[in-house]
Chain A
Amino acid sequence: MKRLRELIDKIKPNFEKGGKFEKLHSTFDAFETFLFVPNRVTRSGSHIRDCLDLKRVMIVVVVALLPALLFGMYNTGLQHFRAMGVADASVWTCFWFGFLKVLPIIIVSYVVGLGIEFISAQIRGHEVNEGFLVSGMLIPMVMPVDIPLWMVAVATAFAVIIGKEVFGGTGMNVFNPALLARAFVFFGYTPYISGEKVWVAGLSNGTGVVDGFSGATPLTDAASAVLTKADQVQWTHGAPIDWFLGTIPGCIGETSTLAILIGAVILLWTGIASWRIMLSVFAGGYLTGLLFNLIGANAYMDIPAYYHLIIGGFAFGAVFMATDPVTASQTNTGKFIYGFLIGFLAVMIRVLNPGYPEGMMLAILFMNAVAPLIDYYVVQANIRRRNRRLKLAK
């Protein structure tokens, strides 16, 4: 550790003003502050000093993502070997297979995203922002495992440039970059991220697949029950307990509600994510599910309300996407409204429009756009209430 510090101190003058690599100052600064807590503090204005800076926050979120990611790797292998009819694949075989499948996607996402971040920071002379540490991990986790790598690259570039850099970089973005990347793939390359073939590795090219194996996710099952006007949803994969544990086809990181909840505990325990948003998203989804139970016009509306919380990306979105501090509402009352409407809209889109089986992505992106408006009205209401109180006191 000490040697590293000495090395950095030795090469540091090269990157200062007038040094040999003056132009690469942002890049150097990014690596230095990544490795060591910076020794500078804000000099003007009032401020709170805390060792928890943006980089540490981002690292905690990445740690919270790890259970879901590791389980996702294992599940990728598990689903693949199930589809190929290999019954005796061990946990490690499954994990290793999934690791090799998922790792390239993560690398592509980070290389492209961080590349653009570094270049744009360099052009503007800003410090490199670390917001992408989390986005770069979220993007692979919301993609199907068989997606071509160049699509991941294009989607990441789109999300970082259009979703973030044009608004001024980390902390200025209106939409969640990771979801923007997914939305880009969803609307741009629809066949690669919807249907029954894409969720299990090796299923789309179809060689060696066991007869009768279907890669349908619970969401696809439910949506097709609506389209075929069936009396009951035919679940292809297991029972609710399997959906909760996550041994079902789906996007890489979203299948296991259990692993996501472990991440949620880490986020809440460290105080990084807002419990208000998480709670209200789940409440919104559950209550909307109950509402549909009352209507009960088709098979999808009749499924138990709690199913909605454990199938598809609902839990993942609620814990990791909706709580993004930049794009969510900032006021406490606003957070409840924001979260509740995400849950409500997600279930509404799922049930009422089978063409978009995953409503969570669209619900969060939509509420991202509305969040500033919610805050505006919450603040205005507060001002009015205080004015009234003032008048009474006079």
Chain B
Amino acid sequence: MSKQEKEPLFSAKNMKLLTAPFGQNNPITVQILGICSALAVTAKLKPAFVMALSVIVVTGFSSMIISLIRKGIPNRIRIIVQLVVVAALVILVDQVLKAFVYDVSKQLSVFVGLIITNCIIMGRIEAFALGNKPWPAFLDGVGNGMGYGMILIILGFFRELLGSGTLWGYPVLEKIGLYNIGYVNNGLMILPPMALICVGLIIWFQRSRNKNLIEK
């Protein structure tokens, strides 16, 4: 193979891998992947944030590791190899969470373990990491993790604010005196169905601004 020209680390192409998942190619609102955890962990802002961080770590490193060994993986057993890598990373993340933020880890419960089955991770490995070099694969993984995390944090923000009247546990609405004029928290916001509706509203908002995303 001829020696290719060395690409700068943050070339325009690589930056695009990182930023596309925020808008044009968002895993949740455009690819409609990873919905289940987005509904389950976003009742409060803090677990949503921790979950986002965990997924970013797992997607980034799993894509990179798979990309590193992509030429050695026999095609027929690639899924099981991918699963081993992802599972190992998830267990690492789980242990770190249990050690340092035990209360959030309790709230997230099984959903940390279920990162293994998060469609975004397997999707990016299959679609991108298996055919690309480690560095772009890492950026792609991190980008998709961040696109996912962004939606989680938006959802967590609105659901906690409207459902519990707090932000990161701080009673915002009580401090500005909204309850004194008869305001009441909306219990529906804490329930998962409303999270689904909120995701729908975000998709609506995004598509009305970006007409390219509307299917014919």
Contacts and interface: CB of A to CB of B under 8 A. Distances in A.
Do A and B originate from a single complex?
yes
Interface of A: 148, 150-151, 154, 162, 166, 184, 187-190, 192
Interface string B170-200: 0000000000001010111101000001001
A192 B188 CA distance: 13
Secondary structure at the B interface, as helix, strand, loop or mixed, is helix
B204 A166 contact: yes
Nearest to B163: A188
A188 B191 CA distance: 9
A151 B182 CA distance: 10
12 contacts: A151-B184, A154-B186, A166-B200, A187-B191, A188-B186, A188-B188, A188-B189, A189-B184, A189-B186, A189-B187, A190-B187, A192-B184
Contact of B187 (A148, A150, A154, A187): A187
Contacts of A188: 186-189
B182 A187 contact: no
Contacts of B184: 148, 151, 189, 192
Given A148-B182, A192-B184, A162 B189 contact: no
Nearest to B162: A188
Secondary structure at the A interface, as helix, strand, loop or mixed, is helix
Contacts of A192: 184
A187 B188 contact: yes
Nearest to B197: A162
Interface of B: 182, 184, 186-189, 191, 197, 200, 204
A116 to B, nearest CB: 15
Nearest to A166: B204
A187 B187 CA distance: 6
Contact of B182 (A150, A166, A184, A190): A150
Contacts of B200: 166
A151 B189 CA distance: 14
A190 B189 CA distance: 12
Nearest to A150: B182
A151 B188 CA distance: 13
B207 to A, nearest CB: 12
Contacts of A184: 188
Contacts of A189: 184, 186-187
A159 to B, nearest CB: 12
A189 B189 CA distance: 10
Nearest to A188: B188
A188 B182 CA distance: 15
Contacts of A190: 187
Nearest to B188: A188
A188 B184 CA distance: 9
A52 B187 CA distance: 42
A238 B191 CA distance: 38
Contacts of B191: 187
B176 to A, nearest CB: 17
A189 B182 CA distance: 12
